Amino acid sequence: MRVVVLLGAPGAGKGTQAPLLATRIGIPVVATGDLFRAAVRDGTPLGLEARRYMDAGQLVPDDITVRLLLDRLGRPDADDGVILDGFPRTGVQARALDSALADRDSSVCAAVLVEVPAEELVRRMSGRWVCRAAGHPYHEVSSPPRSPGVCDLDGSELYQRADDRPETIRARMAQQLGALGEVVDHYRASGVLRAVDGLQSIAAVASDIATAVAAAGLAPRASVAKPAAS
Ligand SMILES: [Zn+2]
């Protein structure tokens, strides 16, 4: 079983890249957030356990997350491997994953970091504005309103939610980058870390990620070279 870990700060484009890579190399993306939701929805024993913590507003303990993950890795579609998105988030989780995989004679074969400078992340994350009347979303860079500060659709004033203000984002980012740094250090130490430049176009980042995982023995599926039939 080949396990690829996709790493990147919020706003680095990891969520866009994970499905592109999955299509390219033909193994599924496993996002821990989805695993929690599915286990809770299906009412599995682990789901019920996870739910107790979520209901109490606490983080789900790492051992529950790892057990959910191992369950998922046991399904047939994961026979050739998986791309992990959203886990591990800390050095402790990275070590827990290593030992769980080692029990199955497996290991993380590539940890790909989509690298974007912190200030660029803040710029990407903090450009969101919404309108007072209906919450129509805008973005300073990617989808600005026709006239500054006014909703195109209803003419109401645009404002920034507290969560979207640069100072809030910067504080949250510092915390998240600290935890990401631990995970990056962990995989650098075990020799499987590959960094790609996340400032490039989506297609160029996707291609660099594919090259990085190919170096770890995960080649693109032959069928991907052909354009999809329409
Ligand atoms: Zn509006």
Measured CA to CA, the distance from residue 27 to residue 80 in angstroms comes to 6
- Kindly give the distance from the C-alpha atom of residue 160 to the centroid of ligand 1, in angstroms, as a whole number: 13
Residue 149's φ and ψ, nearest 5 degrees, are 80, 5
pLDDT tens per residue across span 82-135: 999 989 989 999 999 999 899 888 899 999 999 999 889 888 888 899 999 999
pLDDT tens per residue across span 1-38: 789 999 999 889 998 999 999 999 999 999 988 888 88
- Kindly give the distance from the C-alpha atom of residue 162 to the centroid of ligand 1, in angstroms, as a whole number: 18
- Kindly give the distance from the C-alpha atom of residue 158 to the centroid of ligand 1, in angstroms, as a whole number: 8
- Kindly give the distance from the C-alpha atom of residue 94 to the centroid of ligand 1, in angstroms, as a whole number: 43
Q: Which residues share a beta bridge with 138?
A: 129
Helix (H) or strand (E) holding 15: helix 14-25
- Kindly give the distance from the C-alpha atom of residue 140 to the centroid of ligand 1, in angstroms, as a whole number: 15
Which of 122, 164, 129, 126 has its CA nearest to residue 149? 129
Measured CA to CA, the distance from residue 217 to residue 2 in angstroms comes to 9
Which of 58, 57, 78 has its CA nearest to residue 4? 78
pLDDT tens per residue across span 30-48: 998 888 888 889 999 989 9
**Could you write out the DSSP letters of every residue in 97-131?**
HHHHHHTTT-EEEEEEEEE--HHHHHHHHH-EEEE
The pTM of the whole model exceeds 0.95: no
Report the catalytic residues: 14, 89, 128, 161, 172
- Kindly give the distance from the C-alpha atom of residue 165 to the centroid of ligand 1, in angstroms, as a whole number: 19
